[in-house]
């Protein structure tokens, strides 16, 4: 009986001694990453924009599922940012953040209005609304994007 009591006591200590995640701190980190992404658009800084990208991201858009590598994303944003400037890249509503209790998984829901123009005038201005959800996981203490689902509609 003493041995059983000892094991129950030790098990209780081990379970009770798990680190508790600071969810407010994690939420702040995720919101800071969004602000960094916003600034990366105004700076047309691909490296900053992709700084939280995993080696591969699963993307859902237009009823298609694909995997995007960092090299693919860099190439896509080189085209997107070429001669681009942004008049607006702002939240229509505050981002919504969900974080697992152990702070190993998170989701961000974003609703953004974008007004982009070509500094050379070679392509027309583009105004659109972006809505998306991004799934992130903690890797080596850093939040990394692993999946997203997006919807884009032209704005007036």
Boundaries of every domain in the chain? 22-154
Single out the residue of 117, 110, 124 nearest to residue 152, CA to CA: 110
Q: What's residue 37's pLDDT? A: 95
Q: What digits encode the pLDDT tens for the residues 20-77? A: 689 999 999 999 999 999 999 999 999 999 999 989 999 999 999 999 999 999 999 9
The pLDDT tens digits of the residues spanning 82-99 come to 999 999 999 999 999 999
Instruction: Identify whether the C-beta of residue 119 lies closer than 8 Å to the C-beta of residue 85.
Output: yes
| Rounded Cα–Cα distance for residues 129 and 16 (Å) | 46
In this structure, are residues 110 and 130 in contact, taking their beta carbons and an 8 Å threshold? yes
Is CATH 3.10.450.50 the right assignment for the domain spanning 22-154? Answer: yes
DSSP category for residue 132? E
Other beta carbons less than 10 A from residue 120's beta carbon: 9
- Pairing outcome for strands 142-154 and 53-61: parallel
Report yes or no: 73 and 56 within 8 Å, Cβ to Cβ: no
């Amino acid at each position: 009986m003493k041995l059983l009591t000892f094991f129950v006591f030790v098990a209780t200590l081990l379970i009770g001694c798990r680190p508790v995640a600071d969810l407010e701190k994690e939420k702040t980190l995720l919101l800071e990453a969004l602000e960094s992404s916003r600034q990366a658009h105004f700076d047309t800084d691909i490296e900053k924009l992709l700084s939280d990208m995993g080696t591969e991201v699963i993307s859902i858009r237009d009823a298609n599922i694909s995997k995007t590598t960092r090299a693919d994303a860099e190439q896509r944003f080189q085209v997107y940012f070429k001669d681009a400037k942004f008049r607006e890249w702002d939240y229509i509503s505050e981002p919504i953040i969900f974080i697992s209790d152990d702070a190993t998984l998170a989701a961000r829901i974003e609703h953004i209005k974008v007004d982009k123009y070509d500094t050379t005038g070679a392509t027309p201005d583009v105004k659109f609304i972006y809505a998306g959800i991004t799934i992130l996981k903690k890797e080596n203490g850093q939040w990394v994007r692993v999946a997203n689902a997006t919807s884009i509609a032209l704005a007036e």
